[in-house]
Copies of this chain bind each other. A is one copy, B any other.
Amino acid sequence: MTNLLSGEPTVVTAGAELFTDALTAQAAAVTPVAWQPPAGSPEALARVMADPRRTTANATALERMLAAGATLVDVRPASEVVGLAAGQFRHAGPPISWERASGPMRGALMGAAIFEGLASSADEAERLLSGGSAEWAPCHEAGGVGPMAGVVSPSMWVFVLRDEAHDRTSWCSLNEGLGKVLRYGAYGPEVIDRLRWMSAVLGPALQAAVREHGPIDVKGIIAQMVQMGDEGHNRNRAGTLMLLRDLLPAMIDAGVASSDVASVARFVGGNDHFFLNLVMPACKLQTAAASGIPGSTVVTTMARNGTDFGIQVSGTGDQWFTGPANTPQGLFLGSYGPEDANPDIGDSAITETAGIGGFAMASAPAIVRFVGGTVSDALRTSREMYGITTGENAAYALPILDFRGAATGIDVTKVVRSGVLPQINTGMAGRVAGVGQVGAGLVTPPMECFTGALEALGEAAPPLA
């Protein structure tokens, strides 16, 4: 104590800048620490942190995520796989009404209605959809996922993936490519024509190839692609090429017509994002394996419908915690600019939920040319994500981080305590229905998804003594 009074004081300030400023004005040396109080209810956080089930539940959640497999076992129409009937659709993100739906979500639903022959024009499709004679529900609620608007209708074909470790199936639509495509809200004739070719030629050819080949280890391909400059969300170039390598010989052996093999090879080979629609259901299988563990604070879904961002958490099962979706910041195609971008949309944030995508940017430094930012940002972001996750996935080793496993299992308590939000890489849809893609960029969920989840987790936790 004597020393304290006689020597020069060492002053550390935390949080509010008032103290720092006052000391600095008096020429006193001060070390400010960036700190902010945890987000959300302190009572809920206290209950959740004290929940005796939490540590074990999160360890179990992580263990299941890491044990989950993902093999492509079939390609079939959504009518069969998802059980959709005429006039029924699936879509990305949490539930949404027509009134609250964004432009790209409306555009994709309209295009799907035209594709299914329920309407012959955009106006007619809009009347049908706004009039209450069609129905739609989240892909996630049927165990599947869809990128961007994520609209799936009965005649579209879907990839079928299996996690044998947990006896679970997932599915995802086939990727259409970039630009004017349904999932970005475009519904013009070229969109519908492409969807018809995908159902008539692409789907059946892929089905024949997969059945000839036998199950394809999608998890194994993801492990390779994160060593090849892909992060699995906005870069899927190596993954697409590896899929093509595995499927084409089998497609030929299966007796698919040579001209169809060539057109499928050109379509898939010309679309670096094709494999995204296999990464997504693989990630869904991984996160679904961790769902429904009482007391677990691990996030099992992050998904957006273009209006709301929604998350689901292991300990609270299928309940959605939503907040208004942010608009991504990034790079724009052609003459598009920030005013053209719709808020965040798509189930593709399942990649970050599983530890890749924005979480694995360090392994895909070239991504910054597509989504913006710098290479050092990409490295910093990947490192930062270890602070809000439960563990690491050795199966997805990031070479540039000395083969450290991908940061896996976002923990609601770590997000609210640190204020660090999960980093998502994403495509940007035009906010007006019919426009299509306008760019790609970076975005985070709104904090209220996590504070909402915390509240519910707190209510489900045992009361404090």
Binding site for B on A (CB under 8 A): 224, 227-230, 237-238, 241-242, 244-246, 248-249, 252-253, 258-259, 261-263, 265-266, 269, 365-366, 368-369, 374-376, 399-400, 402-403
Contacts and interface: CB of A to CB of B under 8 A. Distances in A.
B253 A269 contact: no
A200 B84 CA distance: 51
Q: Helix, strand, loop or mixed for chain A's interface?
A: helix
A227 B235 CA distance: 11
A160 B418 CA distance: 58
21 contacts: A224-B237, A228-B228, A228-B229, A228-B237, A228-B238, A228-B366, A238-B238, A238-B241, A241-B242, A241-B244, A241-B245, A246-B269, A248-B262, A249-B263, A249-B269, A252-B258, A252-B261, A258-B258, A375-B399, A375-B400, A376-B402
| Protomer copies | 2
Contacts of A259: 252
Contact of A252 (B237, B265, B399): B265
Nearest to A229: B228
A179 B36 CA distance: 58
B262 A249 contact: yes
Contacts of A366: 227-228, 399
A369 B227 CA distance: 11
B252 A262 contact: yes
Contact of A253 (B253, B262, B402): B262
Contacts of A230: 228
Contact of A402 (B265, B374, B402, B403): B374
Given A227-B229, A241-B244, 11 more contacts: A228-B238, A228-B366, A246-B269, A248-B262, A248-B265, A249-B266, A252-B261, A253-B262, A374-B402, A375-B402, A375-B403
Contacts of A265: 245, 248-249, 252
A463 B320 CA distance: 83
